[in-house]
């Protein structure tokens, strides 16, 4: 929790255009265990950046370094253009960094009402202004009518909203959020995420949010830093990561994919569902073709063709989409079992003959052999 009286602890001499957070060349180890290495990233004012990645990849460590809960070992951290941490230099303590913290287990003060919890960090403001600001935030997060309630009378989701309001109340320029929605059930999580996003955008704070859920990252983030084993693998907009992944890990992290192998001939790889361009791969090399289920366009045929044809093995309705298990027939009698995801209700019978076409924007080709050259 940060108070207005403490804002001056971080010098105000920041250049106008400086990002609210800049991390350079961060390395952090716990004993002999290297948790984070060579990480650099920026968060600009009003921008939501998500640290995304599997468990143990170093997301929380980065957040804790920014918050001042871990002492910086190597690299540099600037808030609003001013260094708050350099190895060997004085360490600005957490409560003097003017950052808002919202963690999964953000505990409220049990003996204070909701309103008192939110006004707690605002001693520097006149009482009336404190109250106005707290009520405004509670209102924005749908908690206005609980102002006089005590934390034990609230559900987990409601407590989470209050914790968020409390973190936002001192108007930090940077919010740090560590899996703040993960303890909530799916429907509540969607609503609180949505409210949080709108409040962050309204107050114009920069935000660094940790999550392991790719959909949450895409929902919340202006930019995503996808991490693996302590490194950032790719940093970009959700669209860049989803539509222009730099390696197979990035492709698979965003959902199920069909994987096929083939050999590059004249800059292309032949698959049972059509040719795929592989201009950056060496002629004759083996290619790993990754096809998102939604890239397969399935058309049912009225008649069974005389030759080998692709057909449906099974079809399941998943709600907004239907999932088709298909057997795709290729040259030389090759058969591949693929999953196709099509919008709405499309449930052809088992054995239904089909043709399958590819949407090339959802197909990615990488070298099958490590060390070879990748291509789009």
The binding site for ligand ATP (CB under 6 A) comprises 30, 33, 35, 53, 55-61, 212
26 or 200, CB closer to ligand ATP?
A: 26
Q: Within 10 Å of residue 306's Cβ, how many Cβ atoms?
A: 6
Q: How far is the CB of 369 from ligand ATP (least distance, A)?
A: 29
Q: How far is the CB of 35 from ligand ATP (least distance, A)?
A: 4
User: Cα Rg for the chain, rounded, in angstroms?
Assistant: 25
213 contacts: CB under 8 Å, gap ≥ 6: 52, 182
Beta carbon of residue 300, minimum distance to ligand ATP (angstroms, whole number): 43
Single out the residue of 73, 362, 89 nearest to residue 244, CA to CA. Answer: 362
Strand runs labelled E in the chain: 21-30, 33-43, 48-52, 74-79, 82-85, 99-103, 174-178, 206-211, 223-228, 231-236, 258-265, 268-271, 274-277, 286-291, 296-300, 310-317, 321-329, 335-343, 353-358, 363-367
Contact 235, 226 (CB under 8 A): yes
Q: How far is CA 96 from CA 2, 65, 157, in A?
A: 7, 14, 28
Give the nearest distance from C-beta 78 to ligand ATP in angstroms: 21
Which residue's CB is nearer to ligand ATP, number 63 or number 368?
63
Least separation in angstroms between CB 210 and ligand ATP: 6
Indicate the residue among 53 and 262 with the shorter CB distance to ligand ATP: 53
What is the smallest separation between the CB atom of 105 and ligand ATP, expressed in angstroms? 12
> Judged by CB, which is closer to ligand ATP: 58, or 75?
58
Which of 27, 297 has the CB closer to ligand ATP?
A: 27
Tell the smallest beta-carbon distance from residue 231 to ligand ATP (Å).
Answer: 12
For the bound state, the minimum distance from the C-beta of residue 65 to ligand ATP, rounded and expressed in Å, comes to 10
Q: Give the whole-angstrom CA distance, residue 63 versus residue 145.
A: 32
- Polymer length of the chain: 376
254 vs 366, beta carbon nearer ligand ATP: 254
**What does each C-alpha distance from 127 to 6, 71, 124, 171, 260 come to in angstroms?**
18, 35, 9, 16, 65
Q: Which is nearer to ligand ATP, 47 or 70 (CB)?
A: 70
C-alpha distances (whole Å) from 131 to each of 74, 135, 255, 375 are 41, 6, 45, 57
Q: Which is nearer to ligand ATP, 17 or 55 (CB)?
A: 55
Q: Cα(183)–Cα(192) distance, rounded to whole angstroms?
A: 12
């Amino acid at each position: 929790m940060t108070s207005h009286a403490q804002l001056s602890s971080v010098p105000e001499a920041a250049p106008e255009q400086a990002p609210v957070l800049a991390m350079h060349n961060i390395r952090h180890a716990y004993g002999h265990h290297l948790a984070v290495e060579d990480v650099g990233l920026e968060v600009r004012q009003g921008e939501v950046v998500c640290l995304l990645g599997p468990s143990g990849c170093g997301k929380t460590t980065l957040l804790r370094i920014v918050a001042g809960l871990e002492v910086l070992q190597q690299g540099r951290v600037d808030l609003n253009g001013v260094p708050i941490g350099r190895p060997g230099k004085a360490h600005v303590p957490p409560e003097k960094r003017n950052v808002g913290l919202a963690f999964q287990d953000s505990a409220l003060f049990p003996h204070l009402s909701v309103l008192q919890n939110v006004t707690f960090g605002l001693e520097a403001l006149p009482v009336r202004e404190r109250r106005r600001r707290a009520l405004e935030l509670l209102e924005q997060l749908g908690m206005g009518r609980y102002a006089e309630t005590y934390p034990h009378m609230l559900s987990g989701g409601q407590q989470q909203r209050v914790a968020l309001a409390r973190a936002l109340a001192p108007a930090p320029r940077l919010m740090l959020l560590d899996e703040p929605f993960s303890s909530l059930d799916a429907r509540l999580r969607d609503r609180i995420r949505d409210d949080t996003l709108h409040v962050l955008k309204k107050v114009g704070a920069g935000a660094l949010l940790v999550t392991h859920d790719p959909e949450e990252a895409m929902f919340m983030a202006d930019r995503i830093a996808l991490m693996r084993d302590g490194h950032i693998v790719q940093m970009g907009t959700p669209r860049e990561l989803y539509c222009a992944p730099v390696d197979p890990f990035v492709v698979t992290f965003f959902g199920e994919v069909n994987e096929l192998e083939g050999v590059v001939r004249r800059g292309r790889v032949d698959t049972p569902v059509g040719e795929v361009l592989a201009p950056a791969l060496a002629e004759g090399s083996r290619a790993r073709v990754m096809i998102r289920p939604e890239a397969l366009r399935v058309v049912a045929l009225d008649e069974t063709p005389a030759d080998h044809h692709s057909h449906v093995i099974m079809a399941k309705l998943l709600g907004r989409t239907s999932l088709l298990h298909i057997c795709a027939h290729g040259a030389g009698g090759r058969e591949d079992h693929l999953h196709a995801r099509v919008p709405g209700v499309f449930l052809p019978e088992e054995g239904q003959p089909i043709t399958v076409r590819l949407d090339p924007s959802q197909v990615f080709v990488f070298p099958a052999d490590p060390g070879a050259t990748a291509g789009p």
